[in-house]
């Protein structure tokens, strides 16, 4: 199929042929990773237009869902192709645990080049949501506890938390134009959680205005200057008086720590437990029902909590 050239102008809407940007929105796998799956691993061979642009079918989108399922189970991307054709043909190891241990050893050794190379490989080959939840968050948790375990623990924590923040903030500084959104935190969140939310939003085509820690009173002062909608990463430690304040219209609260608060209060503020679940609702909202491929949209619906 990779050698097939099609003219998108003559395709019927129900033929299920979608450009790479749309496939990225449907599945949550960014365009860089989709290209890597094709070129490096022989996965997902889309058709091409006469100008060489990739066009994906609904079958391709379903296969992306299968690939994500294997990756979630701990399979490395290099093993997936064989498992798609013969699911029982290979022994499956926990790729994520092995990767975490390898990265942790490089961190303790202060081997910055190796950490950068490992991280670049992960970000190019896997969806960021998986990299964050399976490797980065456990790594930060380990760093935060090092001061109790090692004499140099506080120094290692300082060095690597700063390095990681700079690494992901760079992506926000270099972002291209996209759908605008303002991203802030409210309450006590992890040291890199907000940066990671911004990174994932940029990867999904959003133009992120990152303001840091903001409360509703400050947000009201910025109405008309800050982009809408507002996305608020909800943290711990907020009291009843703080929770009674109102955010700008269209604001969405998100984050697992929202589970600490009253469910009825959360329901009135469009709370989503994860950024992935918010992105999933946006994909469904942004697409017209007649053009929405049932199998494609279900990929992320299945994965979102």
Q: What is the pLDDT along the chain (305 residues), one digit of tens a residue?
A: 444 444 444 444 445 588 998 898 888 899 999 999 999 999 998 998 888 889 999 999 999 999 999 999 999 999 999 888 776 655 667 899 999 999 999 999 999 999 999 999 999 999 999 999 999 999 999 999 999 999 999 999 999 999 999 999 998 988 888 899 999 999 999 999 999 999 999 988 899 999 999 999 999 999 889 999 999 999 999 999 999 999 998 899 999 999 999 999 998 888 999 998 898 888 666 554 444 443 333 333 333 33
Distance CA 236, CA 259 (A): 10
Domain over 175-273 is classified CATH 3.40.50.280:
yes
If one counts every other C-beta atom within 10 angstroms of the C-beta of residue 109, the result is 10
Pairing of strands 54-56, 179-186: unpaired
Strand (E) positions, the chain? 5-6, 18-19, 47-49, 54-56, 179-186, 206-213, 230-234, 252-254
Distance CA 53, CA 115 (A): 34
Peptide bond between residue 182 and the one before it cis (omega within 30 degrees of 0)? no
Domain positions in the chain are 5-90, 95-171, 175-273
* DSSP per position, 25-53: HHHS--HHHHHHHHHTT-----EEETT--
Q: Return the structure tokens found at 287.
A: 């697409």
User: To which residue do tokens 């992901």 refer?
Assistant: 168
Q: List the one residue out of 156, 72, 38, 153 whose CA is nearest residue 107.
A: 156
Pairing of strands 54-56, 47-49: antiparallel
User: To which residue do tokens 């190796």 refer?
Assistant: 114
The answer for residues whose C-beta is within 8 angstroms of residue 151's C-beta and 6 or more apart is none
Q: Right CATH number for 5-90 from 1.20.120.530, 1.10.1660.10, 3.90.1300.10, 3.40.50.1980?
A: 1.10.1660.10
Say what the pLDDT of residue 85 is: 76
């Amino acid at each position: 199929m990779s050698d097939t050239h099609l003219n998108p102008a003559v395709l019927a809407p129900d033929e299920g042929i979608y450009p790479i940007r749309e496939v990225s929105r449907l599945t949550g796998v960014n365009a860089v990773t989709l290209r890597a799956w094709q070129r490096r691993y022989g996965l997902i061979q889309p058709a091409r237009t006469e100008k060489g642009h990739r066009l994906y079918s609904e079958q391709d989108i379903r296969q992306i869902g299968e690939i994500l399922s294997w990756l979630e189970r701990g399979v490395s991307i290099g093993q997936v192709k064989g498992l798609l054709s013969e699911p029982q043909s290979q022994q499956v190891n926990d790729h994520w645990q092995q990767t975490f241990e390898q990265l942790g050893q490089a961190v303790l050794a202060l081997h910055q080049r190796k950490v950068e190379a490992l991280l670049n490989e992960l970000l190019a080959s896997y969806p960021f949501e998986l990299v964050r939840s399976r490797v980065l968050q456990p790594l930060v948790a380990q760093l935060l506890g090092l001061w109790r375990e090692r004499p140099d623990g506080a120094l290692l924590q300082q060095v690597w938390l700063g390095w990681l923040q700079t690494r992901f903030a760079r992506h926000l500084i270099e972002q291209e134009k996209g759908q605008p959104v303002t991203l802030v935190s409210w309450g006590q969140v992890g040291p890199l959680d907000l940066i990671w939310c911004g990174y994932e939003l940029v990867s999904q085509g959003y133009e992120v205005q990152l303001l840091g820690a903001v409360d509703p009173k400050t947000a009201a002062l910025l109405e008309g200057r800050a982009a809408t909608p507002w996305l608020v990463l909800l943290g711990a430690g907020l009291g009843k008086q703080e929770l009674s304040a109102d955010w700008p219209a269209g604001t969405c609260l998100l984050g697992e720590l929202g589970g600490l608060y009253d469910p009825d209060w959360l329901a009135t503020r469009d709370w989503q437990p994860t950024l992935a679940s918010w992105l999933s609702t946006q994909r469904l909202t942004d697409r017209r029902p007649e053009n929405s491929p049932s199998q494609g949209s279900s990929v992320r619906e299945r994965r979102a909590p």
